[in-house]
């Protein structure tokens, strides 16, 4: 399913308008977790557990309270790490190494997605609130590493995560990207607000059934917001349509 600004009451889309808009795109920017791979893979659930365990050790709280704190910081600051830095003054290096020490083998190769990305004209980037090492491990499993020019990670962002507008501005400036000729793919609607304000096209990747994955209710908010231009439940299929 693909829906967007030209969607009809029945969920259809003006195909010509879709193709015309994406013909102008010269830079393709993808979030990593739950965007390039399906949320149902539950890879990020491993990270989630390790973040909780880190908070347990740091503040001495039981797991339930640590989980509550973790999610509160995530919502208010963009990442739990940012909350820990602001409220507890932690050094990020040990945290990032610990929480991304996970089993990436649950991510399956996706040759269809790789072929679709390879056909995209212009430049391609991964922009993530995770680490470059984590992003490269995921991309290697998917089989798409060689299709991307670079990974802009949380370290490159000076530890200021999406959805902060300054992070997008830094990324655009350093990579010499014209936002009016770029598109951002994300699984969180709030992370598309700044890209829209900066002039990018925006696509929310929201596969069906992700409500069953361990995620916060608020993460599903904003699907119908004006800063979300298109919504798809199948990233590879969307790319095949806009760059056949």
Q: Residue 186: what are its φ and ψ, rounded to 5°?
A: -145, 155
User: First-to-last CA distance in the chain?
Assistant: 17
Per DSSP bridges, beta strands 182-186 and 27-30 are parallel
pLDDT for the residue numbered 20: 87
CA distances in angstroms from 63 to 57, 58, 167, 203, 240, listed in the order given: 10, 12, 31, 35, 43
User: What ranges make up the beta strands (E) of the chain?
Assistant: 2-3, 27-30, 123-127, 150-152, 182-186, 201-205, 230-232
- Do 133 and 235 lie in one domain? The reply is yes
Domain of residue 199, CATH code: 3.40.50.1000
- Do 225 and 181 lie in one domain? The reply is yes
- Do 77 and 113 lie in one domain? The reply is no
- Do 121 and 47 lie in one domain? The reply is no
3-state secondary structure of 75: helix
Range of the domain at 223: 2-39+108-242
Residue with tokens 């199948």: 234
Longest dimension (CA), the chain: 57
- Do 125 and 217 lie in one domain? The reply is yes
3-state secondary structure of 42: coil
| Residue 103 and residue 46 in contact, taking contact as beta carbons nearer than 8 Å | yes
Q: For every one of its 244 residues, what pLDDT tens digit does the chain have, with 9 covering 90 and above? A: 455 543 322 334 567 888 888 999 999 999 999 999 988 888 988 989 999 999 999 989 899 998 999 889 988 988 889 989 899 998 899 999 999 999 999 999 999 999 999 999 999 999 999 999 999 999 999 999 999 999 999 999 999 999 999 999 999 999 999 999 999 999 999 999 999 999 999 999 987 654 444 556 656 678 889 999 999 999 999 999 999 8
- Do 148 and 230 lie in one domain? The reply is yes
Q: Residue 135: what are its φ and ψ, rounded to 5°?
A: -60, -40
Angle subtended by helix axes 92-99 and 80-88, to nearest 10: 150
Domain of residue 92, CATH code: 1.10.150.450
Cα distance between residue 66 and residue 192, in whole Å:
28
Kindly report the length of the chain. Answer: 244
pTM of the model: 0.87
- Do 199 and 150 lie in one domain? The reply is yes
């Amino acid at each position: 399913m693909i829906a967007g600004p030209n969607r009809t009451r029945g969920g259809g889309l003006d195909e010509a308008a879709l193709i015309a808009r994406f013909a102008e795109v010269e830079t393709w920017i993808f979030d990593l977790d739950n965007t390039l791979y399906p949320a149902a893979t539950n890879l990020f659930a491993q990270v989630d557990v390790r973040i909780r365990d880190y908070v347990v050790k740091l503040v001495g709280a039981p797991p339930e309270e640590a989980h509550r704190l973790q999610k509160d910081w995530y919502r208010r600051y963009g990442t739990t790490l940012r909350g820990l830095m602001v409220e507890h003054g932690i050094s990020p290096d040990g945290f990032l190494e610990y929480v991304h020490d996970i089993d990436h083998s649950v991510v399956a190769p996706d040759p269809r997605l790789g072929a679709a990305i390879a056909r995209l004209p212009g430049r391609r980037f991964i922009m993530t609130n995770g680490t470059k090492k984590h992003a490269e491990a995921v991309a290697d499993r998917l089989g798409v590493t060689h299709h991307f020019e670079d990974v802009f990670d949380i370290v490159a962002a000076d530890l200021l995560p999406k959805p902060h507008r300054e992070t997008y501005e830094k990324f655009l400036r350093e990579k010499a990207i014209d936002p009016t000729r770029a598109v951002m793919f994300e699984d969180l609607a709030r992370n598309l607000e700044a890209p829209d304000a900066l002039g990018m096209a925006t696509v929310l990747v929201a596969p069906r059934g992700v409500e069953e994955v361990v995620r916060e209710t608020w993460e599903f908010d904003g699907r119908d917001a004006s800063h979300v231009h298109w919504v798809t439940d199948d990233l590879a299929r969307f790319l095949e349509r806009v760059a056949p």
